[in-house]
Amino acid sequence: MSAISPSRAVQSIIAIAIFAGLANASLLCAPVIATQLMTQLTLSAQQVGLFFSMEFAGYCIAGLAGQWLLPRLSWHMIVRAAIVIVVLANLCAVMLLHQGSSLWWNLLLLIRLTGASASAMLGIVAMSSANRHPEAGRAYGFYILGQCVTGVIGLAILPPLFMHWGVSVYFICITGLFLLAAFMTHLLDNGMNSRQTTASLKTNKGQGHPFPVALRRAAVLLFYMGLSGIWTFSGALGQRVGISSLHGGILLSVAAFSGVVGSALAAWYGGRKTGPVSRRTGRALIVGYALLIGALLALTVPLGQAYVTGLIGFKFAWTFVVPFIFATAGKQDRNGEIVAEINLLAGLGLAVSPWIAGQIVAAGSLTLLLLAENILLVLSGLSVFFLRIYDEPSVGEAVFMDD
C-alpha cells in the first residue's frame, strides 16, 4: 500500500475502521449482550462467562491461523472466506438461541467459536492493513476509533432493540453489516508477494531474545485478561449500585464515547513531532495505566457516582493506552506475524477472563473481581515498562505512531 492515491488512502482507512469495529463487536457490546442473555434466556453467570469465553477464544484460533495464513495467502481471499463463515455462523446462532437442551447449547457454543474465529481473522487483516498503510499512525488510530464508534452505537441502540426483538436482533444486524462490508474488501491491503513473503519469513525466524518475547506476551495477555472480566460484567456492577439495564446501556454508551475521545487523543499525541517517540510513548503508558488502575479502584466503591466515574475513566484509559502497548509490543513486526501473535494473546486473555470472572461473580464477590483484575493490569504495566527498558529505541516503535 505504499504507492496509492490520496483518495484511495482515505478509502482504505475507512475500510480499516469499519472492519475493526465489526470484527470486535461482541467484545465492544459484551456488557449489554451479557445482561440480555441472563435476563431473556435465564442463563447463569457461569453460562454467560462460558458463552463469551467461546466468543473470545476465536481470537486465539485466528491468531494461530493468522501466523501461518497472512504471510502466505491473499488477504482479500482470507477476508471473503471469513465473511462467509461469519454470516453462516450468525444465522445458525439465531436458530439455536432459544433451544433449551444441553445438546443445542453445546452446539451453539461451537458455532459461536467458529464465527468468532472468522470474525477475529477480519480484525487481524484490518490491523495488519493499518500497519502497512502509508500513514500507519493515522490508520491505526482509525482502527481504534472504528472499534470505539461501534461500541458507542451498539451500547446505545441494542438495549431498546432487545426490549422489542430480543437478543437475536444483534446477530441479525451484525450479519447484514458484514455483508455490506464485503464490498469494501478490495480497499484493504492484499498482503505480500511471494518474494517478499520468503524474505520476511527468513527475517522473522529467530528474531527476539526469550526475555523480551516473554515480556511482550505477558504485557498483552495480562492486559486483556484485566479488561475483559470487568467489561463483560460491568452491567452487573451497575445493577449493584441500583442502575437499571436500560439506563446502564445509556451509561455504557457514554463510556464508549469516552473511549472515542481516548483513542483520538492517543492518535493525536502519538503523531506529534515534538520530542523523541520513545519518550512520548513512555509518558502515555504511565498516564494510561495510572488512569486504568484508578478507574478500577473507583469501581470498588459501591456508590452510583463512583461507578459512573470509574466506568467512564476505565473506557477512556483503555482506548488511550492500548495503541502505545501495541506500538511497544509490535516493534519488530515485518509481515503480520507479530500482529497475529498479539491477537492470539489478546484472544487468550479475552477467552479465559470472562469464565474466571463468571465464577467469581457467581460466588457473590464483585469487589474481589475488581481487585483481581487490578492486579493483572499492574503486572501488565510492569511487563511493558521492563520491555521498554530492555529494548533499545528503534524505528520500529514508530510503526503505529508516526504520521
Position 1 in a domain: no
Residue 103 and residue 116 in contact, taking contact as beta carbons nearer than 8 Å: no
Distance (Å, whole) CA 150 – CA 257: 10
Residue 330 and residue 191 in contact, taking contact as beta carbons nearer than 8 Å: no
Position 84 in a domain: yes
Global confidence as pTM:
0.75
Residue 181 and residue 22 in contact, taking contact as beta carbons nearer than 8 Å: yes
pLDDT confidence of residue 273:
61
In this prediction, residues 6-25 reach a mean pLDDT of 90
Position 4 in a domain: no
Segment 189-214, tens digit of pLDDT: 988 654 454 445 444 544 557 888 88
Segment 94-104, tens digit of pLDDT: 888 876 667 78
Name the residue with higher pLDDT: 92 or 141: 92
In this prediction, residues 215-223 reach a mean pLDDT of 91
pLDDT confidence of residue 175:
95
Under the banding of pLDDT at 50, 70 and 90, the label for residue 397 is very low
Residue 403: CB atoms within 10 A of its CB come to 14
Residue 177 has pLDDT above 90, yes or no: yes
Segment 336-389, tens digit of pLDDT: 677 788 878 877 787 788 778 888 888 777 888 888 889 999 999 999 999 888
Count of structural domains within the chain? 1
Position 2 in a domain: no
Looking at residue 115, its amino acid is G
Under the banding of pLDDT at 50, 70 and 90, the label for residue 277 is low
Distance (Å, whole) CA 370 – CA 230: 7
pLDDT confidence of residue 254:
82
Position 240 in a domain: yes
Residue 36 has pLDDT above 80, yes or no: yes
Mean residue pLDDT of the chain comes to 82
Residue 182 has pLDDT above 90, yes or no: yes
Q: Which residues contact 345 (CB under 8 A, 6 or more apart)?
A: 63, 217, 220, 221, 224
Domain that holds residue 328: 9-398
Percentage with pLDDT > 90 across the chain: 28
Residue found by looking up cell 487481524 in the block: 124
Closest by Cα among 169, 133, 138, 145 to 32? 169
Segment 105-136, tens digit of pLDDT: 889 899 999 999 999 999 999 988 887 777 76
- The grid coordinates of residue 2 equal 505504499
Position 125 in a domain: yes
Position 3 in a domain: no
Distances (CA, A) of 337 to 136, 203, 214, 342: 17, 11, 16, 9
We report the CATH number of the domain holding residue 140 as 1.20.1250.20
